[in-house]
Chain A
Amino acid sequence: MCKLLFFLFLLISVFSSQAQPAYEKLNKNPFKKSQWYIGVRGGLNYNIVNPINRYSIVKPTNELDESLYEKEYKSVENIGIIYGLTVMYQFEKKFVVGTNLSVNQTRFSYKQELPADVNGIVFDHQHDFRYFEIPVFFRYMFRPTSNKFWNKSFRKPGIPAVIPFLQAGVNFGVLLDGEKSVQRNITQNDVEVQDLAFTENVNELLNPVTAGVFVGGGFRFRLGNVYLTTEANFKQGFSNVTDPNRRFANDNLINNAYDVFDDKSFQSFEVLAGILVPLKYMNKKEFIPIEI
């Protein structure tokens, strides 16, 4: 019995001594411990305006009418597009850190009505902002990285063709362009007339940099030597989009549209798809990427 136990111990020791060099060989090669990815991605976002403080040029002459002059933000025509580059660094089997260099179109609209008995006056405001967004995020991938014998057996588990992931990050946006279109319609006896329409650049009314956070999730699909990713994110802006000290800077908007921006932040839901290309290859002739 004692000999049998000794034999088994010896056998395990031998196996261990054989496994350790192979495992260490694999993991001690720093080139193979990480992977860089670069890619392109694009998608759509649905934007929601979150007013912080409301402002208006038009004000009531009676306290009972105060609520009549608030802007009415619309829930339609708020879809914009996103496109850009992705750079990611996978430093561990389940963790990726990355950034996107994206152009994000943010659209929203509101109407402001000057209530009246006969001649209804309605201002329709459409906005089309574009931000250069630079988020920094961590991505956690749900994938098996070891079986119960992995660390002992050097048998690396297969990498699934589809990997779900969750991600969260901070988002910085730099204003590229802010455009606003205004229409004024007058309605009398069901006859509607558009008597004013113009488009204005509103960059000077906006904060040049915004910040926020986002969370989301998606899937990574292996397509040969590249990856297709799909993701859905919820983004919450933390900073005021409007520059409060330049609220009254645009004379055309003030004098013709009777409009100034509310203090506000944006929330958005976005859906994206992209292609990721790994940059480190085991075999450069056949472009077999390193998969960790």
Chain B
Amino acid sequence: MRLLLIFAIAFMGFSCQKETEAFLPEEKFHSVFDSPNEGQAYTPIDVVQTEDRGYLILASTNGNQVFVLKVSGRGEFIWSKTMSSGYIKPIGDWVQREGNYYFIASTVSDGTAVLVEVKDFEQTLSPIRNYTGYRRPLAFGYLNPDNYLLLTNNDTTGVVLSKIQDGFAMEWARKYDANSDANLYLNNYLNSNTPKFFVGAYNNGANLYFNALRPEGMTLTFTNDLGIETGRVSSTGKDGINSAFIADNGQGSFNYLFNDRSYFANGATVPGNDSTFISQLDGALQPDRLQNKKATSSAVQLSATPFMVNAFTTADGRIKLSFYSGSSGELSAIDYLGGNDPIEVVKVLSTEDQGIVILAKTVIAGVKQRINLFKIPKEEIVNQL
């Protein structure tokens, strides 16, 4: 009998061994948000972590309608709202101010940029400010924690950069080109390209940048804190920068297309006061990247060590995550997400628990375009480094 007991205990001990690490529900999850209406296609745009450690997802639906989805810290559905049809074409990024969350949409009537306020606890979204005269918004984001940048495409001049103050009043706006038919020019470009428009700042807000269509092509433009152009990275044709992460010290990470090939330049010195061409970025070839899909990079802290994570959609329809050391810039680890159904990365976000959240778009069984949210715990990434 004693022998039997020893055998049983040894057997149980052997059976208890597992190869994978255990994680709490908040640390690791995967959620796909579906609707019975298969004709309803969702295009995720941006995600932000909320004060309760949940997530707000900004998306557009058919007809470019505005859709906001609140998800718990475990990836569970909490609430969702579709904005009235008078407001369309939402754009990121999310910005946060005093517990509320904001993004930009357009009016249906004339494409005027509208600031939309989302009150998470009240589960409401409401347009609170029209930027009259500033139409066709392209990008929105932080200048610094209290001020914001808005990029619009004026139909008579072209791209316009505006500084938005703490209370969301516009402080200044600056045009850069004189294009009398800027909308048509942009429309023609969008017919055959999938550019990424974005704004940002570095050096504590002393230097600004935006990526937009300028007369010569997609151009990453650098300005001073008043929006006066100081430098640029120019490109022509289908070439262009697809994503940029610029650290406060002026070191940048760029995904870009050049001569029909995809590249990633990590730790490049930003030509903030110079005019260069995209060919001078000297990035590494990314042959497995699907060119017409998004790429994104962001800084993450893993066990107090800084890393740059670069994400793009691969040619076989998965998401490739490449982790680069923040100090040496060397590639440290690679991870893939996705299965048989194609999936496209939209955004990678560092979370409070030092994990990462990946917002993505998938098409299930070829018929349902849906929102995907992955949460990857810090430990799982660190184990690969």
Contacts and interface: CB of A to CB of B under 8 A. Distances in A.
Interface in A20-69: 57-63, 65-66, 68-69
Given A57-B30, A63-B77, A244-B25, A184 B42 contact: no
A116 B38 contact: yes
Contacts of A249: 20
Nearest to B20: A249
Contacts of B329: none
Interface string B8-34: 100110011011101111001111111
Contacts of B19: 204
A261 to B, nearest CB: 13
B36 A117 contact: yes
Nearest to A207: B16
Interface residues of B, number: 43
A116 to B, nearest CB: 4
B283 to A, nearest CB: 29
Contacts of A65: 35-36
Contacts of B20: 204, 246, 249
Interface stretch (A140-148, A217-225, A251-259): A251-259
A68 B36 contact: yes
B365 A121 contact: yes
B190 interface: no
Interface in A236-273: 243-249, 251-252, 254-256, 258, 260
A195 interface: yes
Interface string B35-53: 1111100100000000000
A114 interface: yes
Interface string A175-201: 110000000101000000001100000
A60 B365 contact: no
A116 B11 contact: no
B71 to A, nearest CB: 8
A118 interface: yes
A237 B111 CA distance: 61
B367 interface: yes
A114 B34 contact: yes
A58 B34 contact: yes
A174 interface: yes
Contact of B32 (A59, A118, A132, A248): A59
A116 B368 contact: yes
A134 interface: yes
A271 B39 CA distance: 50
A209 interface: yes
B36 A58 contact: no
Interface in A90-129: 101, 114-119, 121
B30 A59 contact: no
Contacts of B364: 114, 121, 258
A248 B30 contact: yes
Nearest to A244: B25
B35 A254 contact: no
B34 A174 contact: no
Contacts of A68: 36
A175 B185 CA distance: 65
Contact of A255 (B34, B339, B365): B339
B338 interface: yes
A195 B76 contact: no
A183 to B, nearest CB: 13
A121 B368 contact: yes
A289 interface: no
Contact of A174 (B11, B25, B39): B11
Contact of A117 (B8, B11, B38, B341): B38
Contacts of A84: none
A216 interface: no
Contact of B80 (A61, A101, A175): A61
Candidate in A101, A245, A247 with the most chain B CB atoms within 10 angstroms: A245
A11 B88 CA distance: 112
A101 B42 CA distance: 54
A226 B131 CA distance: 93
Contacts of B367: 116, 118-119, 121, 186
Contacts of B151: none
A256 B11 CA distance: 33
A59 to B, nearest CB: 5
Interface string B337-353: 11111000000000000
Contacts of B30: 57, 248, 254-255, 260
Interface string B342-385: 00000000000000000000001101100100000000000000
Contact of A247 (B8, B25, B368): B25
Contacts of B172: none
Contact of A61 (B39, B69, B337, B338): B69
Contacts of B337: 255
A251 B8 CA distance: 32
Closest 5 CB pairs of A and B: A255-B339, A245-B22, A256-B339, A116-B38, A115-B36
Given A61-B33, A255-B341, 11 more contacts: A57-B32, A60-B33, A61-B67, A62-B80, A68-B36, A121-B368, A174-B11, A174-B15, A186-B367, A252-B339, A255-B30
17 contacts: A59-B32, A59-B77, A60-B33, A60-B77, A61-B33, A61-B67, A65-B36, A69-B34, A116-B38, A116-B368, A174-B8, A208-B16, A243-B18, A243-B22, A246-B22, A247-B25, A254-B30
